[in-house]
Structure 1
Amino acid sequence: MMRHLRITIDGRPYDVVVEDVTDAAGGSSTVPVQTPNAPAPVGRPPASTPIAGTGAAGAVSHPTPAAGGPDDRTAPLAGVVLEINVAIGDEVAIDDPLVILEAMKMKTVIGAHKAGTVSAIHVKAGDSVDSEQPLVTIS
């Protein structure tokens, strides 16, 4: 037996045809079409996450990066380091390109915030960085 229904969803009407289906014995079954979902718990990952099959010795540490000091050029956003354009000992001027980050498929050139000498490089190409994580120190 076919049943014709008119359903309105978000103000839009839909015509639906539903066919009654019986099992081999001539009976019918009820199938729930919507069940309430419990909210998923939200939280921060633990400080270290074990790698499957390696035991405690294979734990991966996720340290929180230290906040940068006045000599540190920090990441303005989270991303992945694509290139390091300086070396320790290089002299740089304000806005000279230090690092290129990629975030959400866009490249961002991170320039020097002051003139000076590169005294430390805290990241390498391929590293994931968080916002405000120190990238390069200029003395």
Structure 2
Amino acid sequence: MKAKILSFAILLFVITSAFAARIHFVGTPCLDTETGWITGKVAGLGTNPNGLTISISGRYGCDNPADKRPPSWNNLTISDIPLKSDGAGNYTFEVNIFNYIPRDCPNAQWDMTFDLTATVSSTNISKHIDTDCN
């Protein structure tokens, strides 16, 4: 009986690992710093993402004109961003961070800077979000 339970546990682990290993980001998620839109694409979920969502986490702040980063950086977490099927086995996501954070720095001389990561929920699959979308 113990051997059957152990065999089942190993099989379950292998199946789960194989499923998780297929999930991946297609390209690099990107933040358009002018509009605030973060967009990205995930693949390897099959035809049903089983309730998986995207989370965005990291920090943001304003760099002053001397390119110094003041210690007042803020943490940001946005959870449960839905995945939308593109009909070709890929799932896209988008969220506007300006719905969650202030849009402006103290003045036009300061630049808003971001250090953010996108993560597929219930997995350890994550990728840094790029701010150079070209």
TM-score, normalised by the number of residues in structure 2 = 0.29
Greater C-alpha radius of gyration: 1
Give the number of the structure whose residues are more often helix, by fraction.
Answer: 2
